[in-house]
Structure 1
Amino acid sequence: MQLKTLCELQGHRGRVWSCAWNPQADLLASAGEDKNIRLWTKGDGDNWKCSYVLSDGHTRTIRSVSWSPCGKYLASASFDGTVSIWNKKSGDWECTVQLEGHENEVKCAAFSKSGLFLATCSRDKSVWLWDVDNEDEEYMCASVMHSHTQDVKRIAWHPSEDILASASYDNNIKMYREDDDEWISTATLGSHTNTVWALAWAPQGDRLASCSEDCTVRIWKSFPPGNNEGIPTQGKDPAWKCESTISGIHPRSVYDIDWGTQNNLILTAGGDDAIRIFSEGEEGWVCDHTEYSAHSMDVNCVKWNPRDADVFVSCSDDAIIKIWRIER
């Protein structure tokens, strides 16, 4: 396995923290230290060009961007404590909703796969759940969860159910679901020994991958009530167990992780400027490829293309976004 750089996208000033494909994979959003969101569209061949620069939504660093499942809305989370919802109206992208309430930097915002909810998390140790009504452009806060004891770094929705996972500086992962119009925390996944930076669900939703400051990746498996393994559960919620730990591969912090929906491969990125690809075999998870010096500085985000199983995007502290293709 080898990686080919299809193109390098430049234009951001300073660190690029986040990039996200829209569901159709014909539009790529990126954001970072310069407080701008750039939207890139595919041109001829493998070339991508910047079609929009959204510069009026935030006053500080933008930490994450995330598309709604319909692809019509983009959520951006910022260190200014707000979340902006962008919508394309009359040919131009506009910030149509701005959500306030967090007391500190917002680290991540993400739409549920149903499109009914938006989750946000913050340095203020909280996770907020918002009811989404895009027709009336209304976002109502449904719940504020204080399950973590430290900065919440990332949130990730289950691929088919309205179940949320959150990762924190407190080394733990929490699970949430709605119960009679109230959101509750249903599980704590704790075996990392340092900050959990990011999360990625398996395509089937029965497993979760996490990456950490402790230089490991952990694969968690859910065991539903009445499971054949005899693992005890409480109520109707599954029990979660760490079934695999990938260690000794990453020499420095692992900042991001993504689990391919089409290829079942795991991507990781981190503080050693490298990108790694893992596959699952009979003996467990194996590193199939390490792209050393993928960027000249820390790699902050990696995302598989939702339509092409061999393509992914990365972004870095070096202010560059790269689109890659696997060549076998």
Structure 2
Amino acid sequence: MDTAPPPAAIVPANSPPPNPQTVTITRLPPFQPDLYTRAWSSVPHPTLPLLATAHAKSVTVFSLATFTKHSALTGGHARSVRTAAWQPPRSNNSNNSKRLGLVTGSFDATAGMWSYDGDSSGSGDGDGNEVVLEREVKMDRDDEQDSDGEEEEKDWEFNLVLEGHENEVKSLAFSPGGAYLATSSRDKTVWIWEDVSAGPEDEDEWETVAVLSEHDGDVKAVAWCPSHLPNAAGKRGNYSSDVLASASYDNTVRIWREDADGEWVCVAVLEGHEGTVWGVQWEGRERKNGKFPRLMTFSADGTIKVWSLREEEEEQDGDGAQQEGNPFRSGFGGIPSTMRRSIREDWDCTAVLPKVHSRDVYSVSWSADTGLVASTGSDGVVAVYAEDESAPADAPMPSPGAEGAAKDGIVAPKSNWRVLGTVSNAHGPYEINHITWCKRFDPGAELKGKEEMLVTTGDDGVVRPWQVRIS
């Protein structure tokens, strides 16, 4: 049983802007059972009330409606599972059935594809997800015990092993449409795999389309830009709308796109951190100014930085219209492919969040609903931040240590972000490896499926939810 202390105290920001907000963070009962071993991350399903936690040689799937175990993925890997990601639905049929799939990355240098052999279909308003979640939770209760009174496991099928990395798989992520899977490794590479399955009901079939090896250290994390946003494809049309970011032990972040020849190329290198970049988070909410989504990076140097793409105006002809129809023009500034030079993107560090953490920042989560950011790390602190949206969001920051100085005639703000609250020792003396915003479906939620909570995952093997109230 959990013997959690009373709700943690909240430390407000020192210098709140006008009309300040605060948050109240309350410790909720942890997910059961405790895992009793280091847990690396917990990933919520995008629509269903399910949470997948990577630990030991398995993944435990919890129900977000009951905070209890739903099912488990075991027997697929020879070593610990480091990371997991939910597979976007492959179904395009009319009966709205959706295959439930997960991919896992392991210290055994492989990635595994899994599917759930259970009832994941439903009907009702919208896409039926509300009905599905109720049915899944009911299955938990009805099938919790077999005739002998023992717990009955749901069946996950291990379908496919993706091999190629030389060392442990650190991170993996599906592109928004599910056509690509990116995996990163201690071997300093990022692999991009393409789904070449014949159809949604066929067996998984993936092939390697790119091996990206420009990083000089372990590649800690990969993340795809959420291209469902209207502005995510950019305005220049130089590359495809699929954009991948990778973070590395070499203190850099790289941005990758597929060019007009189908080659995956590095279009930008983001430098500025003074330690390992543990991960990246794309902005999931459409920007009011219509610009490209920003990127947030976090590091062993204890800092969290925000980066913005420096966007150029569309090229126009003499009459003020965009040039089209010229067979000698391409998406690369009109230069034929045999003559063009590599086109690079310019990204500026436009904000540094207030310093909260005394050690490595292991994880950051950027809410697509509220725009709030949550962070955690090796110091055991959980912090929540808000952006002052009235302040300039894309002004380049000056060089480190010169905040407030002028650069190219622009005076950058010291920070347009503020701390709303922090919780110390959120998992007692243990490090916290991951934090995520997650929809609430439990009985304590006021707006099930819409209200958000935080979930933290730590070395103590506890997966802990937190109620967040904004005022």
TM over 0.5: yes
Report the alpha carbon displacement of residue 146 of structure 1 after superposing the two structures with TM. 0.4
Aligned to 1:79: 107
Q: State the SS of the aligned residue for 1:295.
A: strand
Report the alpha carbon displacement of residue 201 of structure 1 after superposing the two structures with TM. 0.5
Q: State the SS of the aligned residue for 2:370.
A: coil
Aligned mates of 1:189, 1:238 — CA distance in 2: 10
Kept in 1, the 8 Å contact 2:220–2:248? The answer is yes
Matched residue type, 1:194: G
Report the alpha carbon displacement of residue 74 of structure 1 after superposing the two structures with TM. 0.9
Aligned mates of 1:295, 1:129 — CA distance in 2: 35
Aligned mates of 1:112, 1:26 — CA distance in 2: 21
Report the alpha carbon displacement of residue 49 of structure 1 after superposing the two structures with TM. 1.2
1:51 and 2:70 are equivalent in the alignment:
yes
Aligned mates of 1:24, 1:312 — CA distance in 2: 16
1:195 and 2:276 are equivalent in the alignment:
yes
Kept in 1, the 8 Å contact 2:36–2:460? The answer is no
Q: State the SS of the aligned residue for 1:7.
A: coil
Kept in 1, the 8 Å contact 2:103–2:113? The answer is yes
Percent of aligned pairs with the same residue? 34
Over residues 67-109 of structure 1, what are the superposed CA-to-partner deviations in whole Å (9 max), with x where a residue is unaligned?
1233722111111100011111356211111101000011011
Aligned mates of 1:121, 1:87 — CA distance in 2: 22
Matched residue type, 1:80: D
Kept in 2, the 8 Å contact 1:225–1:238? The answer is no
Aligned mates of 1:42, 1:309 — CA distance in 2: 12
1:239 and 2:332 are equivalent in the alignment:
no
Kept in 2, the 8 Å contact 1:225–1:235? The answer is no
Greater share of residues in strand = 1
Aligned mates of 1:139, 1:76 — CA distance in 2: 14
Aligned mates of 1:217, 1:248 — CA distance in 2: 8
Aligned mates of 1:289, 1:90 — CA distance in 2: 41
Over residues 22-71 of structure 1, what are the superposed CA-to-partner deviations in whole Å (9 max), with x where a residue is unaligned?
11141110012x2111011134xxx3110212111111121111112337
Matched residue type, 1:181: G
Aligned to 2:176: 113
Report the alpha carbon displacement of residue 4 of structure 1 after superposing the two structures with TM. 1.8
> CA 1:76–1:287 in structure 2 vs 1: closer, same or farther (change >3 Å)?
same
Counterpart of 1:294 (choices 426, 432, 437) is 426
Q: State the SS of the aligned residue for 2:29.
A: strand
Number of residues of Structure 1 aligned to a counterpart in Structure 2? 319
> CA 1:104–1:253 in structure 2 vs 1: closer, same or farther (change >3 Å)?
same
Aligned mates of 1:93, 1:133 — CA distance in 2: 22
Aligned to 1:308: 450
Q: State the SS of the aligned residue for 1:67.
A: strand
1:182 and 2:263 are equivalent in the alignment:
yes
Matched residue type, 2:194: D
Report the alpha carbon displacement of residue 308 of structure 1 after superposing the two structures with TM. 3.4
Matched residue type, 2:29: C
1:69 and 2:88 are equivalent in the alignment:
yes
Aligned to 1:220: 307
Aligned to 1:274: 381
Larger radius of gyration: 2
Q: State the SS of the aligned residue for 1:97.
A: strand
Aligned to 1:95: 158
Moved more, 252-261 or 8-17: 8-17
Report the alpha carbon displacement of residue 237 of structure 1 after superposing the two structures with TM. 5.5
1:35 and 2:57 are equivalent in the alignment:
yes
Aligned mates of 1:94, 1:49 — CA distance in 2: 21
Q: If the length of structure 2 is used for normalisation, what is the TM-score?
A: 0.65
Aligned to 2:42: 19
Aligned to 1:172: 252
The Cα RMSD (Å) is: 1.9
| Runs of 4+ with deviation above 3 angstroms | 133-136, 233-238, 306-309
